[in-house]
């Protein structure tokens, strides 16, 4: 019988891999879990870790509440992203255009192209994002599970802003000079939170 890794839930709700053996890639079994809930905001759950694929690929499930804006428009120096929408409709700014991706649709966002996403609808949005070329799940886990007010990281504080700057630099995430103004324009245009 071939050896394989099995994922299990950890205490913060993100799957945690059993230790991966060194050497060639091993099969991994991902047990089914209930759909991720947005809890009135945005939530993530890591499924495939970059370490499980020798740094080639990782995948995160994301749930977004209705009428909720995502991050400010940004681009990645090295990361390519592929989105598969499971439920709802994702609105995506890509360059200067907004496209809608309905459940069952895919959207590729190559590196160096400005983008963001949001949920302009009155229904929840759920999708899988797949990341290539870097362990971007580590960036998201740091933001969603560690740099939180519950852990003493005050939104807008100098300490949190410095930590976010370090993360952005480490992962090659770049915000154009007008990113935060453009985010606010999208929020106003679509009546988002």
Q: In what order do the strands lie in the sheet with 42-48?
A: 42-48, 57-64, 125-132, 80-87, 106-109
Examine residue 22 and state whether it is found in any structural domain, yes or no: no
Confidence class for position 22, pLDDT limits 50, 70, 90: low
Examine residue 11 and state whether it is found in any structural domain, yes or no: no
pTM (predicted TM-score) = 0.85
Examine residue 15 and state whether it is found in any structural domain, yes or no: no
- CATH classification at residue 103: 2.60.120.10
pLDDT at 176: 96
Examine residue 6 and state whether it is found in any structural domain, yes or no: no
Examine residue 5 and state whether it is found in any structural domain, yes or no: no
**How many domains, the chain?**
1
Examine residue 170 and state whether it is found in any structural domain, yes or no: yes
* Average pLDDT of the chain, as a whole number: 89
Confidence class for position 24, pLDDT limits 50, 70, 90: confident
CA dihedral for 137, 142, 148, 151, sign (positive or negative): positive
**Could you give the 3-state DSSP secondary structure of residue 75?**
strand
Residue pair 137/50 in contact by the 8 Å Cβ criterion: yes
pLDDT by residue (tens digit) across 41-100? 999 999 999 999 988 899 999 999 999 999 999 999 999 999 999 999 999 999 999 999
Examine residue 154 and state whether it is found in any structural domain, yes or no: yes
């Amino acid at each position: 019988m071939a050896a394989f890794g099995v994922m299990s839930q950890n205490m913060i709700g993100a799957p945690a891999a059993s230790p991966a053996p060194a050497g060639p890639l091993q099969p991994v079994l991902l047990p089914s879990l209930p759909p991720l809930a947005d809890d009135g905001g945005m939530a993530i759950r890591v499924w495939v870790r970059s370490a499980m694929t020798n740094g080639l690929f990782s995948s995160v499930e994301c749930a977004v509440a209705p009428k909720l804006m995502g991050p400010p428009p940004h681009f990645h120096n090295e990361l390519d992203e592929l989105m598969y929408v499971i439920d709802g409709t994702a609105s995506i700014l890509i360059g200067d255009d907004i496209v809608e991706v309905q459940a069952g649709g895919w959207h590729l966002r190559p590196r160096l192209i400005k983008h963001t996403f949001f949920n302009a609808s009155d229904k929840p949005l759920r999708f899988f994002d797949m990341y290539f070329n870097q362990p971007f799940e580590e960036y998201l886990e740091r933001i969603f599970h560690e740099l939180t007010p519950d852990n003493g990281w005050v939104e807008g504080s100098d300490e949190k802003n410095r930590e976010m700057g370090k993360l952005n630099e480490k992962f090659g995430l770049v915000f154009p000079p007008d990113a935060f103004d453009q985010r606010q324009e999208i929020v106003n245009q679509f009546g988002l939170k």
